[in-house]
Every structure is written in C-alpha cells, then in structure tokens.
Amino acid sequence: MQKHPIIIDNDTAQDDCVTILLALTDPAADLRAITTVAGNVPFDRQVANAQMTLSVAGRLGDVPLHLGCRQPMLRPWVSAEEVHGDGSGGLEIELDPDAISDEHAVDALIRLTAEQPGEISVVAIGPLTNIATAVVKDRRFVENVKSLYIMGGSNNGRGNTTSSAEFNFYVDPHAAQIVMEAGFTDLHIVTWDPITIRDATYSRARYDQLTSIDTPIAAFFKKVCDATLSFNESVGIDGSTHPDSITLAALLYPELVLEEGRYRVDVDTQSELTMGYSAMAWDKFGSEANAHVVERMDGEAFYDILARMLQTPSVPSRPIDGLAG
C-alpha cells in the first residue's frame, strides 16, 4: 500500500483529535509532524489535547509536535467551545514538555517540505493562519508542498459559525484568502456543506456502535466526540460530525472522493455580514480555477475506516485522567 507522507496542521479538539488518531494508525498514512494553530479552544488546551491524542495511541514523543500561530492574522480569535467544550470531554494529562518541539510550526512546515520538495502533503483542518504565514514567509513553500488538503468553507451552502461562514474560514478569513491566491497547484477543499453534513455525519445509533468498541482509542474517541454530538443535536444536525478526519481520508483514499470539481474559490474579508464566506465559482463563470472542491464522498466507506481505526489496540504513553482503563 502506498504511504502518504503528511503534516497535519490543526486546532486540536474533537475531530482534529480523531484525524490525528487516523494519521497515527492508518496503513496509508506516514505522519511526519503535527502543527497547531489557534482555533477551536484555547491554545494551551489544544496542546494538551494533542498530547493526550498522541498518548492514547502510545505515540507521545514519536511524532514532532510544533506549536504555531496563537491568533488569527487580523481578526480577533473566535472560540468554538460552545460546540466542543474543551475539545477532550474533560480529560487531563500531565504535559510532557520534551514532547513539544522548540521549532515554530510555520518554520517546521517550511523546512520539512523544503527537505523533500514535492513529496510531503499538508492536511490543514483548522484556521489557515500557519499555512498563510508559511506562504508569506517563504514563497517556495507553495512549490514544495505536494498536495494541500483543506477542511473549510461551504460549496454555495450553509455556514456553521454564521449562516454564511464555516468556522475555519470565519476565524481567519485573511489567511484563507492568502492561501486561495497563493498558487498551490494541487489544492483540495473538503467543505462543511455538503460534504460534512451529508457524507460525514453519523446518527447517534451508528456513533454508539463505534464507541462500543473496547479499546483505549475508542474510549478516547467517545470522550472527545460526545460534547459535539450533543451540540449538533441541539442545533438540528442529527449526528456526530467528522469534517477533519474525512478530509484526511480524501487524501489517503482518493477512491472515497466520488465527485470533485474545479472551482475559483475566494473568501470574503470585507463584509461583516458574510465575513469568511467561501465564494465557489464553477466553470460557467469563466474565472480561472484555483482549487479542486470535493462534491461528494463515500460516507459508508469512511465509516468503515473509522471503525477499523477504533479497533486499533494501544498502550497509552502516559495516564490520561478521566479515561477509564
């Protein structure tokens, strides 16, 4: 099986944790580094969530963890704590400072991709502040990245943070637009609407099947996902949402991408009403495409990939308070 060398740039909470677990356990993934960015929950909480995620898989210290930008480029930071709680269901861990690299995430993104030009892909599943900063700091980053897979925006559809904007693009719309204009030659966007809410949302009954698996990873999965499932049900989304992990799956298993189109994508940075809105123009409008936008994914195949991941046995690297066993 082909292994995909990847860096995951994320705002570690709920499904970001699931994505890291998938990258640590899936045979198609070769996880080179994890970089963190301001997003879902307070930054230091994200660092703890990342260490717990690595630990539950027994991999704390194995994968370089680089801390990145602690605030968006221009806009004030916006939290998603109302959605995810603290992003880990109240779990706690004693941080291992030796498992945190001294190298900033942006420098790591630039260095790692420069050391192997065209070989390492980046999966960006949080606000794009680190990615945009890398572009601004060293233009060669754009050429050195093999593929850039982004979870963000909606394809002429619903937002989730405002009626028009998805969270990652809303938190740092300026960074998102810098990335859209940067010239990445293999940019893929997995959206909130329709992909997440149609193809990566699983009912509570199916979620319960996943969380009934008897492994430390499945117990952790339940802990980090429960709060978001409850929030979703309170706002009319009937199930557990997995936008970030299905974005990684789109890279690891391209056969899961059933439909994808070429679009010109731009992110609104001007209007308070539609700040962070992803304008996605298809070929009819004649603008030069800058992205592949995923239009349909095989949600059933992805569910099986999640179930396989959750079966993975592990011996946690260090105790996680609140996690049974």
Task: Provide the binding-site residues for ligand RIB, judged by CB under 6 A.
Answer: 11, 13, 15-16, 40, 80, 125-126, 151, 160, 166-168, 192, 243-244
Interaction mask 226-245, Ca ion, x per CB under 5 A: ------------------x-
Q: Shortest gap between Cβ of 84 and Ca ion (angstroms)?
A: 9
Number of H helices, E strands in the chain: 12, 11
What six digits make up the tokens of 314? 């592990």
Among residues 301, 245, 252, the alpha carbon closest in space to that of 15 is found at 245
Q: Shortest gap between Cβ of 314 and ligand RIB (angstroms)?
A: 23
Element containing residue 150 per DSSP (H, E): strand 148-151
Q: Shortest gap between Cβ of 151 and Ca ion (angstroms)?
A: 6
Find residue 223's DSSP bridge partners.
none
Q: Which is nearer to ligand RIB, 129 or 144 (CB)?
A: 129
What six digits make up the tokens of 150? 């982004």
Interactions with Ca ion, residue window 187-216 (CB under 5 A): none
Contact partner at residue 80 from Ca ion, ligand RIB, none, CB < 5 to 8 Å by partner kind: ligand RIB
Q: Which is nearer to ligand RIB, 248 or 257 (CB)?
A: 248
Q: Which is nearer to Ca ion, 144 or 161 (CB)?
A: 161
Distance CA 124, CA 56 (A): 22
Instruction: Please state, in angstroms and as integers, the Cα–Cα distance from residue 130 to each residue in 78, 91, 272, following that order.
Output: 16, 27, 23
Q: Which is nearer to Ca ion, 251 or 264 (CB)?
A: 251
How do strand 240-241 and strand 201-202 relate by DSSP bridges? antiparallel
Q: Give CA angle at 3 (36, 301), nearest 5°.
A: 85
Q: Shortest gap between Cβ of 283 and Ca ion (angstroms)?
A: 30
Exposed e or buried b per residue across 112-146, where buried means at least 16 C-beta atoms within 10 angstroms of its C-beta: bbeeeeeebbbbbbbbbbbbbbbbeebeebbebbb
- Give the sign of the dihedral formed by CA 142, CA 144, CA 149, CA 151: negative
Q: Shortest gap between Cβ of 38 and Ca ion (angstroms)?
A: 11
Q: Which is nearer to Ca ion, 160 or 317 (CB)?
A: 160
Q: Which is nearer to Ca ion, 144 or 191 (CB)?
A: 191
Contact partner at residue 243 from ligand RIB, Ca ion, none, CB < 5 to 8 Å by partner kind: ligand RIB
Q: Shortest gap between Cβ of 19 and ligand RIB (angstroms)?
A: 9
Q: Which is nearer to ligand RIB, 82 or 115 (CB)?
A: 82
Three-class secondary structure of residue 312 per DSSP: coil
Interactions with Ca ion, residue window 4-43 (CB under 5 A): 11, 16
Total number of residues binding Ca ion (CB under 5 A)? 5
Contacts of 37 (CB under 8 A, 6+ apart): 9, 10, 11, 68, 69, 105, 126, 127, 128, 129, 130
Contact partner at residue 227 from ligand RIB, Ca ion, none, CB < 5 to 8 Å by partner kind: none
Interactions with Ca ion, residue window 107-136 (CB under 5 A): 125-126
Q: Which is nearer to ligand RIB, 8 or 106 (CB)?
A: 8
Element containing residue 43 per DSSP (H, E): helix 43-56
DSSP state string for 54-67: HHHTT-TTTS-EEE
Q: Shortest gap between Cβ of 98 and ligand RIB (angstroms)?
A: 27
Q: Shortest gap between Cβ of 55 and ligand RIB (angstroms)?
A: 20
Comparing every residue's Cβ against ligand RIB, the nearest one is 167
* Positions in the binding site for Ca ion (CB under 5 A): 11, 16, 125-126, 244
